[in-house]
Chain A
Amino acid sequence: MKKPFERFIEGGLALSGVVTILTTLAIIWVLLSESWGFFREVSIVSFLTDTEWTPLFTNKHYGILPLLSGTVLTTLIALLTALPFGITISVYLSEYAPKKFRQSIKPALETLAAVPTVVYGFFALTVVTPFLQSFIPGLSTFNALSAGIVMGIMIIPLIASMSEDALRAVPKSLREASYGMGATRFQTAFKVVVPAASSGIIVSVILGISRAIGETMVVAIAAGQQPTLTLDPRDAVETITAYIVQVSLGDVQHGSIEYKTIFAAGISLFVFTFILNHISYRLKKKYQEQYE
């Protein structure tokens, strides 16, 4: 016989689990039902192939590609910024830094992740863009480059911290084996520890990508709000998230086609990040098996 208190706790835990799942299901339901309405009016083919996204104009086009290219472009720039720094920092912290230094720098790094994204957005617009304009000709006030770089800076702590965890999870015995054969610290770090932690590092990068794709404030503020099908980082672009904000804040009528575009864009974003998170989950599982 279980004690009543045990049962109460168990029930409470189960309930909180169910609430999370129900919330997710509810979100998916809303996304599906509202975008269903959208796709009854706009064919999925033109949604995926039209190169213009102008639902708020008189001449309406509903092609997701410009928003997608804006999202991919800013995310790519963010990744190119964050990856080298994030990995270098994580290797330094896990393999080189003295224990005390690591213990004080890691919380500081994680604080960086706690800065509100709107602050990052204005940092991009008022500091990074003017700085970049001083040597990049033709850089618009709103541009993908500066938003992407700042988003990269924003996800550095995430990648660095999670990669560091993965690196430190590599057993000490592997490092000793490498040192024992005459390897230097550098060789040990990059030929043994990093490869052994590679799936963990990839997971951190994928979560970083998910974060960049879902990021809203920085791109809404600094990248402009012009859906353009371009891969030129100097141009103003609009990402899926920025579009959703733009429309949600405007005076679009509830139930109208313009209103439904929010959900069509939202479900595209959802599918995108869902796939990425799924990949990262699979990798994580594989990685956990390796040493257990």
Chain B
Amino acid sequence: MKFIEAKDVNVYYGDNHVLHDINLSMKENTVTAFIGPSGCGKSTFLRTLNRMNDYIDTFRLTGKLEIDGKNIYGKKVKVEELRQEVGMVFQKPNPFPKTIFENVAYGLKIQGNKDKDFIEERVEKSLKQSALWGEVKDKLHNSALSLSGGQQQRLCIARTLAVKPTIILMDEPASALDPISTAKIEELISELKASYTIVIVTHNMQQAARISDRTAFFYLGNLIEYDKTTEIFTNPKNKQTENYITGRFG
């Protein structure tokens, strides 16, 4: 089943045409990696999936972007509801300067949820899912900023999970972390795949090869090649893809 589908998507920032006729579809419960050199449009495309680009004044999109059969740029779409379905983890850990508990509970509270037991239960579950519970269960009411970078990033993942999205977008989630924290995040992604559809932008090709089912290679605003990850890395059809993954540029 095609869960996320882009049809002839073009994106402009003012006069700048940054994405050209992107056509691609992603299945449920898979990990899709976007790779490509800086400025190739992979992050921009990722951010169209939860309409995070809406805050850029000059942003304009043509074409169709559907999630579960619904055009997410349609007139009736409430962007807040969309983002509860499509969660996002950012490049640099960005916990709120609140307690660990409050960080995870935030998404529920803004939905107007006041049931204390429910919130506590969901916070615990989310922290367990993101493999952080053991490290923080005794200091839930300490500031989130007291955690290490890797812990903060797992907290941000827990925070996203607490809202129960179906899709999680990750924008280079491990690029600011050390190797051990990176390994933990990658392990986590493989576990989350069972219940979520994950789209991840990464600069690290080994990472893409390790964790994703399918890989899309972007270059200069074009989708050059999109295939099974094993195909892309062992048998790329396009010369540019081959040059990029073998490290000849990028």
Residue numbers in B under 8 Å from A192 (CB-CB): 96, 106
Across the interface, B88 reaches (CB within 8 A) one of A171, A180, A183, A191, namely: A180
Closest to B50 in A: A180
| Nearest CB of chain A from residue B171's CB, rounded to whole Å | 10
Asked if A182 meets B97 with Cβ closer than 8 Å, knowing A99-B57, A177-B156, A290-B145, the reply is no
**In the bound complex, do residue A182 and residue B106 qualify as a contact, i.e. CB atoms below 8 Å apart?**
no
**In the bound complex, do residue A181 and residue B84 qualify as a contact, i.e. CB atoms below 8 Å apart?**
yes
Residue numbers in B under 8 Å from A187 (CB-CB): 110
Residue numbers in A under 8 Å from B229 (CB-CB): none
**In the bound complex, do residue A196 and residue B96 qualify as a contact, i.e. CB atoms below 8 Å apart?**
yes
Give complex CA distance A174, B93 in Å: 10
**In the bound complex, do residue A176 and residue B106 qualify as a contact, i.e. CB atoms below 8 Å apart?**
no
A179 at the interface (CB under 8 A from B): yes
**In the bound complex, do residue B107 and residue A181 qualify as a contact, i.e. CB atoms below 8 Å apart?**
yes
B194 at the interface (CB under 8 A from A): no
Range class of the B interface residue count: 20 to 34
**In the bound complex, do residue A181 and residue B159 qualify as a contact, i.e. CB atoms below 8 Å apart?**
yes
Closest to B97 in A: A196
| Nearest CB of chain B from residue A170's CB, rounded to whole Å | 9
Most buried by A among B107, B109, B110: B110
Range class of the A interface residue count: 20 to 34
**In the bound complex, do residue A182 and residue B96 qualify as a contact, i.e. CB atoms below 8 Å apart?**
no
**In the bound complex, do residue B107 and residue A182 qualify as a contact, i.e. CB atoms below 8 Å apart?**
yes
**In the bound complex, do residue B96 and residue A177 qualify as a contact, i.e. CB atoms below 8 Å apart?**
yes
| Nearest CB of chain B from residue A233's CB, rounded to whole Å | 38
**In the bound complex, do residue B94 and residue A174 qualify as a contact, i.e. CB atoms below 8 Å apart?**
yes
Interface residues of A (CB under 8 A from B): 98-99, 171, 173-174, 176-184, 187, 191-192, 195-196, 290
Interface residues of B (CB under 8 A from A): 50, 52, 55, 57, 80-84, 87-88, 90, 92, 94-98, 106-107, 109-111, 145, 156, 159-160, 163
- Seed contacts A173-B94, A174-B97, A184-B80; 6 additional CB < 8 Å A-B pairs: A180-B50, A180-B160, A182-B110, A183-B110, A187-B110, A192-B96
